[in-house]
């Protein structure tokens, strides 16, 4: 079966219009629901979704306008709802024949609209401004791209749109084009293949980025600096209340790149002065933001969207419960993978096994619920005592980057803290939410490098940024700045702080790194970490492991509850000063994460004891350190 022969991919509007026409004799046919259902069913078919080309890895100019495409994205902003002509009537100027047309999933009407027709139906839709998932790591992008089986041929519409894309050059994309049409892989895990075509892939994925770079006068509003990729205005036709800001979605929709949609300021000047009076009220900025050139920010009319629980391409994209086969097969392996991962981390953390253990716990932590204001399950780790030599922290981050689907490195230098925009802010002139580095998707790893911080003055922005980071860590929320008021957006971000001494930011758990490597050898040791990169299959195992462990369900039996209570009472009896409610909170989280990291879905006596044990070890190390340094608070 050749995927490219599918009309529903190449010409979805034809399907929609066919259904619309058929419904005209039958007013209550509910054709709209049927149309959506049709596409859903088509996509349900095995592998069907891989035939749909993705905006993430195919340059925009290779995609056929008005074809079905998918987009793995992050809702960065929500614009105001708009009213459009759901159904309208056109009049042929010569024959005066009236025809009813469907305006759904389209931006522009046909010619000769009769505005006074009584058959016009006004409908409502919502626009989301979507960007690629912020901080998505290269291995994720590559892996997604390699599973795609979409056949993308430079379409005939490619030539006419060319002059519209005046910014970019036609580079050597044509040469890499055949890569797209190669045979589907047997499995993404196969390491050689994966590496073999990595380079070609990169060239392709960079194609759209050239575009954005050269058109930098138009800020595409990515949360993180230096991000690349297309952004998209997604038009949502139903259920838009169910989507939330910062959600991860895979949108299947009809691509619309009609050049008439672009409203550039210079065009406005040349147009006639007789204008719709409502239009001249918008500022130029607002125009630019809300109607950017379609060649840069395409419109996507959503047919179907799948919320993504994670963006790990190696895991099936459903919740774990629905995938019990996959679950049971990997549960048994988890303990062994964990051991390997522990060894790997121990090696990286200069031979410190305890810190490696905590690092695993941190990486699988997840805010699984909130009790009134209290987020449960967060586990912010402060790794103190990191060597500043040989850019250790950067190397460390590169390793994290290889393991988690999305991550961001934030060097907490004075300059960064004073200048960076961390908290999103509403720009009322352009009427959009200007993004900040803390607008991140669920389970993104935020790597805070405090070793970059030097002495100096924090200005107002700096103080605000540090407060925002503190709030993020303590309450897992970010207060977006709406100028007249603030609005709280809950988040779920794994924050890892590396520092020399104790961090100035709060954390759930601090562990001081005990290096087994002496200072003179450090340089050599560090360079050797990168000398032996883990094999790709090994990495993939780790990647699956970390995502799996995060998604497991967990409970505590009544029996264990009792025994934990007993333990707590006993500990308090011995030394009430040293064990507080906060310690119990932390130990419960550690025990939870420890169990999950071993693939156990309920707390066992052993895990509890082990959690207590490692917490004790960690504390005694802190005491020691305090004695040595004497300057800890």
DSSP H or E segment with residue 172: none
- How long a stretch of residues is the chain? 633
Residues numbered 526-555 forming contacts with another protein, rule: CB under 8 A: 554-555
- Contact track, another protein, 457-476, x by CB under 8 A: ------x---x------xx-
Longest CA span, the chain: 96
Q: Is 578 in the site for another protein (CB under 8 A)?
A: no
Q: Measure CA of the first residue to CA of the last residue in the chain; give whole Å.
A: 69
Residues numbered 416-435 forming contacts with another protein, rule: CB under 8 A: 426, 428-429, 431, 433
Q: Is 265 in the site for another protein (CB under 8 A)?
A: no
Q: Is 556 in the site for another protein (CB under 8 A)?
A: yes
Provide the 10 A C-beta neighbour count for residue 516: 12
Given 33, 99, 108, 284, the residue binding another protein (CB under 8 A): 108
* Distance in Å, CB of 240 to another protein, minimum: 9
Q: Is 568 in the site for another protein (CB under 8 A)?
A: yes
* Distance in Å, CB of 263 to another protein, minimum: 9
Q: Is 113 in the site for another protein (CB under 8 A)?
A: yes
Nearest partner of 443 among 316, 544, 309, judged by Cα: 309
Given 88, 222, 237, 344, the residue binding another protein (CB under 8 A): 88
Q: Which CB atom, from 389 or from 487, has the smaller least distance to another protein? A: 487
* Distance in Å, CB of 51 to another protein, minimum: 29
- CA dist 313 and 139 (Å) reads 9
Q: Is 97 in the site for another protein (CB under 8 A)?
A: no
Q: Is 484 in the site for another protein (CB under 8 A)?
A: yes
Q: Which CB atom, from 46 or from 573, has the smaller least distance to another protein? A: 573
Q: Which CB atom, from 342 or from 376, has the smaller least distance to another protein? A: 376
Judge contact between 359 and 560, C-beta under 8 A: no
Q: Is 561 in the site for another protein (CB under 8 A)?
A: yes
* Distance in Å, CB of 614 to another protein, minimum: 18
Residues numbered 580-619 forming contacts with another protein, rule: CB under 8 A: 580-582, 584-585, 588-589, 592
Q: Which CB atom, from 246 or from 407, has the smaller least distance to another protein? A: 246
Given 47, 172, 239, 279, the residue binding another protein (CB under 8 A): 279
Q: Which CB atom, from 145 or from 220, has the smaller least distance to another protein? A: 220
Inter-axis angle of helices 138-147 and 198-214, nearest 10: 110
- Contact track, another protein, 340-379, x by CB under 8 A: -----------------------------x-xxxx-x---
- CA dist 450 and 501 (Å) reads 9
CA distances from 527 to 305, 447, 521, 524, 544 (A): 45, 21, 10, 5, 27
* Distance in Å, CB of 568 to another protein, minimum: 4
Nearest partner of 326 among 340, 316, 336, judged by Cα: 316
Judge contact between 615 and 586, C-beta under 8 A: yes
- Strand extents, DSSP E, 279-406: 299-307, 369-371, 374-376, 381-384
* Distance in Å, CB of 214 to another protein, minimum: 26
- CA dist 163 and 566 (Å) reads 75
* Distance in Å, CB of 384 to another protein, minimum: 20
Q: Is 482 in the site for another protein (CB under 8 A)?
A: yes
Judge contact between 350 and 341, C-beta under 8 A: no
Residues numbered 293-332 forming contacts with another protein, rule: CB under 8 A: none
* Distance in Å, CB of 107 to another protein, minimum: 6
Residues numbered 27-86 forming contacts with another protein, rule: CB under 8 A: 77-78, 80-85
- Contact track, another protein, 486-525, x by CB under 8 A: -xxxx-----------------------------------
* Distance in Å, CB of 467 to another protein, minimum: 6
Sort 556 into a burial class: Cβ within 10 Å, 0-12 / 13-18 / 19+: middle
Provide the 10 A C-beta neighbour count for residue 399: 18
Inter-axis angle of helices 324-348 and 536-551, nearest 10: 120
Q: Which CB atom, from 386 or from 552, has the smaller least distance to another protein? A: 552
Nearest partner of 261 among 82, 470, 464, 93, judged by Cα: 82
Q: Is 261 in the site for another protein (CB under 8 A)?
A: yes
Q: How many residues touch another protein (CB under 8 A)?
A: 84
- CA dist 4 and 136 (Å) reads 29
Judge contact between 522 and 389, C-beta under 8 A: yes
User: Which are the contacts of 119, defined by CB distance < 8 A and separation ≥ 6?
Assistant: 87, 88, 89, 100
DSSP class of 52: S
Q: Which CB atom, from 288 or from 592, has the smaller least distance to another protein? A: 592
DSSP class of 67: S
- Contact track, another protein, 207-246, x by CB under 8 A: ----------------------------------x--xxx
């Amino acid at each position: 079966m050749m995927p490219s022969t599918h009309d529903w991919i190449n010409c979805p509007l034809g399907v929609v219009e066919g259904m619309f026409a058929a419904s005209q004799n039958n007013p209550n046919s509910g054709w709209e629901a049927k149309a959506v259902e049709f596409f859903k069913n088509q996509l349900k078919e095995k592998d069907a979704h891989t035939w749909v080309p993705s905006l993430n890895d195919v340059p925009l100019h290779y995609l056929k306008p008005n074809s079905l495409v998918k987009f793995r994205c992050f809702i960065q902003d929500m614009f105001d709802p708009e009213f459009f002509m759901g159904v309208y009537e056109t009049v042929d100027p010569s024959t005066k024949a009236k025809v009813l047309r469907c305006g759904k999933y389209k931006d522009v009407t046909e010619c000769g609209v009769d505005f006074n027709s009584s058959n016009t139906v006004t409908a409502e839709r919502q626009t989301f401004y979507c960007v690629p998932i912020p901080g998505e790591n290269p291995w994720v992008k590559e892996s997604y791209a390699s599973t795609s089986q979409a056949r993308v041929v430079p379409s005939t519409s490619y030539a006419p749109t060319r002059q519209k894309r005046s910014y970019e050059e036609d580079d050597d994309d044509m040469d890499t084009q055949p890569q797209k049409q190669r045979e589907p892989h047997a499995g993404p895990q196969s390491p050689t293949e994966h590496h073999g075509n990595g380079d070609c892939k990169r060239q392709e994925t960079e194609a759209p980025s050239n575009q954005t770079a050269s058109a930098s006068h138009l800020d595409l509003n990515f949360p993180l600096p230096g991000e690349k990729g297309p952004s998209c205005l997604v038009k949502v036709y139903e259920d838009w209340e169910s989507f939330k800001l910062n959600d991860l979605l895979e949108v299947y929709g009809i691509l619309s790149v009609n050049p008439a949609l672009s409203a550039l300021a210079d065009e406005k000047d040349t147009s006639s002065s007789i204008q719709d009076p409502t239009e001249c009220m918008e500022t130029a900025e607002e125009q630019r933001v809300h109607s950017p050139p379609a060649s840069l920010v395409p419109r996507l009319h959503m047919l179907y969207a799948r919320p993504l629980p994670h963006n790990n391409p190696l895991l099936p994209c459903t919740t774990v419960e629905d995938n019990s086969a996959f679950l049971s097969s990997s549960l048994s392996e988890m303990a062994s993978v964990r051991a390997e991962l522990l060894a790997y981390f121990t090696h990286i953390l200069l031979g410190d096994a305890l810190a490696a253990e905590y690092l695993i716990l941190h990486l699988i932590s997840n805010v699984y619920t909130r009790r009134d204001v209290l987020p449960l399950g967060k586990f912010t780790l402060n790794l103190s005592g990191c060597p500043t030599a040989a850019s250790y922290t950067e190397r460390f981050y590169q390793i994290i980057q290889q393991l988690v689907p999305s991550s961001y490195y934030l060097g907490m230098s004075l300059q960064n803290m004073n200048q960076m925009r961390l908290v999103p802010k509403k720009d009322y002139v352009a009427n959009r939410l200007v993004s900040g580095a803390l607008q991140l998707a669920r389970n993104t790893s935020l790597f805070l490098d405090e070793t970059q911080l030097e002495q100096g003055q924090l200005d107002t922005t700096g103080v605000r940024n540090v407060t925002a980071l503190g709030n993020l860590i303590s309450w897992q929320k970010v207060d977006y700045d709406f100028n007249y008021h603030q609005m709280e957006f809950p988040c779920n971000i794994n924050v890892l702080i590396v520092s020399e001494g104790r961090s100035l930011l709060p954390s759930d758990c601090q562990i001081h790194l005990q290096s087994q490597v002496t200072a003179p050898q450090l340089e050599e040791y560090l360079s050797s970490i990168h000398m032996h990169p883990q094999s790709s299959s090994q990495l993939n195992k780790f990647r699956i492991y970390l995502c799996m462990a995060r998604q497991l369900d967990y409970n505590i039996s009544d029996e264990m509850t009792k025994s934990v209570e007993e333990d707590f009472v006993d500990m308090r009896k011995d030394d009430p000063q040293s064990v507080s409610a906060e310690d119990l909170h932390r130990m419960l989280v550690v025990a939870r994460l420890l169990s999950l990291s071993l693939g156990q879905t309920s707390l066992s006596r052993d895990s509890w004891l082990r959690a207590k044990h490692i917490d004790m070890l960690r504390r005694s190390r802190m005491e020691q350190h305090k004695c040595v340094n004497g300057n800890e608070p």
